[in-house]
Amino acid sequence: MVSQYLSEVKELVKIKVTDSIGNSNLIEESMLYSAIAESKMVRAGLIFASAKTNPYLEMESVVTLASSIELMHTYSLVHDDLPCMDDDGIRRNQPSNHIKYGEANAVLTGDALQALAYEIICNDIDLSNKNKVSAIKLLTEACGKNGMVLGQHLDIQNENNINEVNQEILDHTHQLKTGKLIECSVLFGQLNNELSDDQLKNFKNFSSKLGLAFQIIDDVLDVTESSEVLGKTNNSDIKNNKQTYVDLIGIKPAQDRARNLIESAIQDLNMNNLDGTNSLIDIAYYLIERRN
């Protein structure tokens, strides 16, 4: 089962993250509070699953890369929850970081988590310098000014222009805000692999469709599940006046589109004719069948 697989990934990542952060001051305590809180660990799971098709990546490095992506993801959540952003008070079934530690410390915590995501890649003894540079380049491109950060900017901007947000704009926003880090996760698992240009393109297409399907289902769950099940405040998109896929096309059509994206993504993946893709396919289906 995917849930069991992700639980095993989670334990490995939690050990690495805990050891990497330490607990000697308030900022490290705050980092741990958010980074090892209960989570789905989907992005880390995608790295492990992708690496199953790659015979040239050491397991210790897989753990490092998975931990790095989760640190980066956690930073984004800590900042997203701030009053100046999405203003959410619950995250991962506990008070958001700024509720527990204050807004200033939450900003600093996010900054520190982001820096640590790069640091642990640099410290990995099994990755060559070339692969370290490649990994950091993938991560910066996914999260920087033309990636996740731009996506978050567009998401906030769209709140003020809700009537002008169509499906194309929404797709673009979420391909940046959500999809880029998911794409990075899949590509992390292919570091040092001997792929053709076509195979790399297929992995990118697979992960791009995966990321969009993930966000569509997030929009559906926001209005169909309770806060307790979600581990965060439900109906938050309504509160923040955000245009969603549910608003644009309805719940059932949104679910259908997510499933069609997953089926298309798996077709892209299968074009690579690689062994060991079962875990990637299982996670792909899990993303549209989950409840939180």
Q: Are 138 and 188 in contact (CB under 8 A)?
A: yes
Give me the pLDDT at residue 240, please: 64
Percent of the chain whose pLDDT exceeds 70: 97
Check whether 195 has a pLDDT greater than 80: yes
Q: Which amino acid is at 25?
A: N
Top-confidence residue, 141 or 161: 141
Q: Residues 175, 178, 182, 187: what is their CA dihedral angle, to the nearest 10 degrees?
A: 50
What average pLDDT does the chain have? 94
Measured in whole angstroms, the distance separating CA 123 from the mean position of its chain's CA atoms is 22
Quote the pTM value.
Answer: 0.95
Cα first-last separation, the chain: 16
Q: Are 113 and 31 in contact (CB under 8 A)?
A: yes
Q: Which region among 124-133, 188-197, 221-230 has the lowest average model confidence (pLDDT)?
A: 221-230
Q: Give residue 229's pLDDT band: very low, low, confident or very high (50, 70, 90).
A: confident
Measured in whole angstroms, the distance separating CA 188 from the mean position of its chain's CA atoms is 13
* Domains of the chain and CATH, by start: 2-289 (1.10.600.10)
Q: What are phi and psi of 41, to 5 degrees?
A: 60, 35
**Average pLDDT rounded to a whole number, residues 270-279:** 94
Q: Are 46 and 283 in contact (CB under 8 A)?
A: yes
Reduced to 3 states, what is the DSSP secondary structure of residue 78?
A: helix
**Average pLDDT rounded to a whole number, residues 286-291:** 89
Task: Please report the sign of the dihedral spanned by the C-alpha atoms of residue 17, residue 41, residue 178, residue 218.
Answer: negative
* Cβ burial, residue 100 (10 Å; 0-12/13-18/19+): middle
**Average pLDDT rounded to a whole number, residues 261-288:** 96
Reduced to 3 states, what is the DSSP secondary structure of residue 90?
A: strand
89 contacts: CB under 8 Å, gap ≥ 6? 81, 95, 96, 99, 233
**Average pLDDT rounded to a whole number, residues 218-247:** 78
Q: What are phi and psi of 58, to 5 degrees?
A: -70, 145
